[in-house]
């Protein structure tokens, strides 16, 4: 009952937002079953705020005349967060922007570069959508040169091991379908026996980021352009050692089942220039893929998305190239990336440094009249308070349930929240809050403080003075 009620409230709220803030298109605002996922990282159970700490508020309904909250009152919320013993030694950065006017309502340390954790994914998502478009799909292809069939990875890491599922995002394209279509073409050519090669050359450089701390193997796979459904391993610590080769071996198995004899072992090699395409399968559109990766905070998917961006803009499709491509696109789109340092696309690297101001500005643009399809898609794909994704268990029965949608961020010493919130008076605000540098083991406390001192009060705010 709680989720159904919240879903209805969220959809209704954002459709009203659409009438004024440029979100009027029919969005897939109520996430489907694929978006319900566990939190970014295994942590302690999130504590339920004490009764009365967060007052549940029904949004009054959005309109251009909705009262603008007092910047003084909102700044006091940010000050309370910074002074809260729950954040310990952590540095606090907060930016709050009124979406309708672009006015900055809170700027508390907002220009200070801090480790954003998975709020970093907001920057990647905006950039990828801006360049590739919400309807972009990636292909997995089989080619033939001589008697060698080459499986060419195009960036789909949600592949089904057998038949694709056209109505789903995860498993939309199937290696079994590709193998059977390939076998049909080979048979038509009179070919019954082949060798198989794997072309995973779309991505370059190391498959593992040296900026990631030891132990992160539980939260991200080796970054390759071809994988069987990577979400099956999300935060499980059981990612395959060589995901692309695992997919190639599955393709070989399916070819054999389809009547084609495969000789020898799979070798890594680029598809030759003279190779002809035999068959291909396509992923779900990018807007649906992002809905999975953003709501579940999937690090592998986001790193792949960053490399697809780099490839599209003719940067090296490596960690460095992806980070450079994100920075370049943000700059091209008019954002000030001064003092921003990106070492990856997902936010796993502690060395990432992003001013909260930049995060809030991206969200404010996305929610505003100029956000376009890029902005509408980004917002629709974020987790919703008390409903789904990494916010499934936060803001339940409290202010922000169904009216706050945001990207979470969680590292051992950094916590963040970046998104939009509707105040009790019906004003749409974009916000970003980062708490960075608290003592190891303080993540749950920092997240509690963010919700108790800032995010919840923003949602409950009827505060004009």
Query: Does 201 share its domain with 349?
Result: no
Query: Does 301 share its domain with 403?
Result: yes
Is pLDDT above 50 for 50?
A: no
**Whole-number pLDDT of residue 265:** 97
**Whole-number pLDDT of residue 463:** 84
What is the distance, to the nearest Å, from the Cα of residue 201 to the centroid of all Cα atoms in its chain? Answer: 24
CATH of the domain at 199: 3.50.80.20
Query: Does 62 share its domain with 123?
Result: yes
Among 56-60, 85-89, 203-207, the range scoring the smallest mean pLDDT is: 56-60
pLDDT tens digits, 260-278: 999 999 999 999 999 999 9
Whether residue 120 is contained in a domain is answered as: yes
Strand segments (E) across 99-138: 104-108
Give the 3-state secondary structure of residue 381.
coil
Query: Does 260 share its domain with 294?
Result: no
CB 252 within 8 A of CB 266: yes
Whether residue 206 is contained in a domain is answered as: yes
Whether residue 61 is contained in a domain is answered as: yes
Number of domains in the chain: 2
Q: How far from each other are the two terminal CA atoms of the chain, in whole angstroms?
A: 36
Query: Does 235 share its domain with 322?
Result: no
The percentage of the chain sitting over the pLDDT mark of 90, rounded to a whole number, equals 83
CATH of the domain at 297: 3.40.710.10
**Final residue before a domain boundary, out of 268, 284, 300:** 284
**Whole-number pLDDT of residue 62:** 66
Among candidate residues 359, 274, 417, 329, the one with its CA nearest the CA of residue 129: 329
What is the distance, to the nearest Å, from the Cα of residue 416 to the centroid of all Cα atoms in its chain? Answer: 14
**Whole-number pLDDT of residue 37:** 36
> Which residues form the domain of 57?
2-133+289-460
Is pLDDT above 90 for 63?
A: no
Query: Does 79 share its domain with 163?
Result: no
Instruction: Name the one residue in this structure whose structure tokens are 């339920």.
Output: 48
Among 212-216, 250-254, 271-275, the range scoring the smallest mean pLDDT is: 212-216
Query: Does 124 share its domain with 258?
Result: no
Whether residue 243 is contained in a domain is answered as: yes
Whether residue 465 is contained in a domain is answered as: no
pLDDT tens digits, 314-337: 999 999 999 999 999 999 999 999
Using pLDDT thresholds of 50, 70 and 90, give the confidence band for residue 246: very high
Query: Does 103 share its domain with 192?
Result: no
Whether residue 390 is contained in a domain is answered as: yes
Catalytic residues, by residue number, are: 118, 121, 297
**Whole-number pLDDT of residue 59:** 45
Higher pLDDT, 421 or 17: 421
Using pLDDT thresholds of 50, 70 and 90, give the confidence band for residue 108: very high
**Final residue before a domain boundary, out of 251, 284, 317:** 284
Query: Does 301 share its domain with 448?
Result: yes
**Whole-number pLDDT of residue 465:** 59
CB-based burial, 388-417: b 16+ in 10 Å, e otherwise: bbbbbebbbebbbbbbbbbbbbbbbbbbbb
Higher pLDDT, 16 or 179: 179
Query: Does 124 share its domain with 235?
Result: no
Among 12-16, 250-254, 364-368, the range scoring the smallest mean pLDDT is: 12-16
**Whole-number pLDDT of residue 31:** 33
Q: What is the 3-state secondary structure (H, E, C) of 38-95?
A: CCCCCCCCCCCCCCCCCCCCCCCCCCCCCCCCCHHHHHHHHHHHHHCHHHCCCEEEEE
Is pLDDT above 90 for 244?
A: yes
Query: Does 155 share its domain with 251?
Result: yes
Average pLDDT value over all residues in the chain:
89
**Whole-number pLDDT of residue 464:** 76
Higher pLDDT, 234 or 57: 234
**Whole-number pLDDT of residue 9:** 43
pLDDT tens digits, 112-137: 999 999 999 999 999 999 999 999 99
pLDDT tens digits, 375-415: 999 999 999 999 999 999 999 999 999 999 999 999 999 99
Q: For residue 171, is it left (φ>0), alpha (ψ between -120 and 50) or beta?
A: left
- Which DSSP symbol is given to 398? S
**Whole-number pLDDT of residue 405:** 97
Among 59-73, 84-98, 109-123, 339-353, the range scoring the smallest mean pLDDT is: 59-73
Across 46-74, average pLDDT: 62
The percentage of the chain sitting over the pLDDT mark of 70, rounded to a whole number, equals 86
Question: What sign has the CA pseudo-torsion 429, 60, 100, 65?
Answer: negative
pLDDT tens digits, 287-310: 999 999 999 999 999 999 999 999
Across 420-447, average pLDDT: 97
Query: Does 388 share its domain with 401?
Result: yes
Whether residue 24 is contained in a domain is answered as: yes
**Final residue before a domain boundary, out of 228, 263, 284:** 284
Across 416-430, average pLDDT: 96
Higher pLDDT, 24 or 145: 145
Instruction: Give the helix/strand (H/E) hosting 373.
Output: helix 372-380
CB count within 10 Å of CB 137 equals 18
Whether residue 271 is contained in a domain is answered as: yes
Is pLDDT above 50 for 46?
A: no
**Whole-number pLDDT of residue 326:** 98
């Amino acid at each position: 009952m709680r989720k159904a009620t919240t879903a209805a409230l969220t959809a209704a709220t954002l459709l009203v937002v659409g009438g004024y803030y440029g979100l009027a298109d029919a969005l897939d605002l109520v996430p489907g079953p694929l978006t319900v996922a566990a939190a970014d990282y295994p942590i302690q159970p999130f504590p339920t705020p004490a009764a009365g700490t967060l007052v549940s508020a029904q949004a009054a309904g959005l309109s251009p005349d909705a009262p603008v909250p007092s910047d003084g009152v909102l700044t006091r919320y940010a000050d309370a967060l910074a002074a809260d013993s729950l954040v310990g030694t952590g540095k606090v950065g907060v930016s709050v922007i009124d979406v309708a006017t672009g006015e900055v309502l809170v700027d508390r340390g907002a220009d200070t570069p801090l480790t954003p954790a998975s709020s970093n994914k907001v920057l990647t998502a905006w950039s990828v959508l801006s360049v590739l478009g919400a309807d972009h799909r990636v292909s997995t292809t089989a080619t033939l040169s001589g008697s060698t069939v080459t499986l060419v990875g195009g960036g789909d890491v949600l592949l089904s091991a057998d038949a694709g599922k056209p109505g789903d995002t995860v498993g939309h394209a199937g290696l079994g379908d590709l193998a059977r279509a390939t076998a049909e073409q080979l048979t038509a050519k009179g070919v019954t026996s082949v060798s198989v090669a794997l072309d995973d050359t779309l991505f370059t450089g190391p498959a593992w980021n040296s900026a990631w701390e030891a132990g992160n193997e539980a939260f991200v796979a080796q970054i390759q352009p071809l994988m069987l459904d990577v979400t099956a391993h999300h935060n499980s610590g059981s990612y395959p050692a060589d995901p692309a080769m695992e997919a190639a071996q599955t393709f070989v198995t399916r070819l054999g089942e389809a009547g084609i004899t495969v000789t020898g072992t799979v070798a890594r090699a680029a598809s030759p220039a003279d190779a002809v395409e035999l068959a291909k399968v396509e992923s779900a559109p990018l807007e649906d893929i992002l809905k999975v990766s953003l709501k579940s905070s999937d690090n592998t998917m986001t790193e792949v998305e960053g490399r697809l961006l780099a490839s599209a803009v003719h940067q090296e499709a490596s960690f460095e190239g992806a980070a450079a491509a994100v920075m370049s696109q943000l700059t091209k789109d008019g954002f000030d990336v001064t003092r921003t340092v990106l070492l990856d696309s997902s936010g796993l690297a502690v060395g990432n440094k992003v001013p909260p101001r930049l995060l809030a500005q991206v969200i404010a643009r996305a929610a505003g009249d100029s956000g376009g399809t890029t902005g509408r898609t980004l917002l629709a794909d974020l987790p919703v308070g008390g409903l789904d994704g990494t916010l499934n268990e936060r803001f339940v029965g409290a202010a922000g349930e169904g009216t706050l949608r945001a990207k979470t961020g969680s590292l051992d010493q950094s916590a963040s929240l970046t998104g939009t919130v509707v105040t009790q008076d019906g004003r749409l605000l974009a916000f970003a809050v980062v708490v960075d540098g608290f003592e190891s083991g303080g993540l749950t406390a920092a997240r509690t403080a963010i919700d108790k001192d800032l995010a919840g009060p923003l949602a409950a705010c009827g505060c004009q003075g």
